[in-house]
Amino acid sequence: MLYHLPAIFYALVIITLSSIPNLKTPHIQIVAVDKLAHFLEYAIFAYLTFRSISNISSRLRLRWIVLLSALFLSCFALIDEIYQHFVPGRYSDLLDFATDMGGALVVLLILGRRHHQTRDTRY
């Protein structure tokens, strides 16, 4: 359970932030700061999800850990974008979903490669 709590808590934080009407990103002089935030948000979520799923069972193979993590994250990101459509002052954006998945997939590929090279079973 210890490995699952951070991923569960992080998911709750994402849903909480998605529930805030008219949420604006801070005004920072960086182009596409919104997309960078989405990328980093799901990069962190991917790490926590991979860690959680890899600790479900020692018999889970690496390809299943990566596949289940990617499937969960894509479903979560899609549902989150659809949910935001119904929150006043928020909107759904396919590019946000793509950026979420970009961050998640980069981290999952890095973790999968690292896991394969080291044969480490726990994160």
**Cα radius of gyration rounded to whole Å, the chain:** 15
DSSP structure string for 41-54:
HHHHHHHHHHHHHH
Tokens of 18: 């998605």
The predicted model gives 50-76 an average pLDDT of 95
The predicted model gives 111-121 an average pLDDT of 76
The predicted model gives 77-95 an average pLDDT of 94
What pLDDT sits at residue 115? 79
Is the pLDDT confidence value at 85 over 70?
yes
What pLDDT sits at residue 117? 75
At residue 119, the 3 state secondary structure works out as: coil
What pLDDT sits at residue 43? 98
Predicted model pTM: 0.88
Is the pLDDT confidence value at 122 over 60?
no
The whole-chain average pLDDT of the chain stands at: 90
What pLDDT sits at residue 32? 77
Report CA torsion sign: 16, 21, 25, 27: negative
What pLDDT sits at residue 118? 72
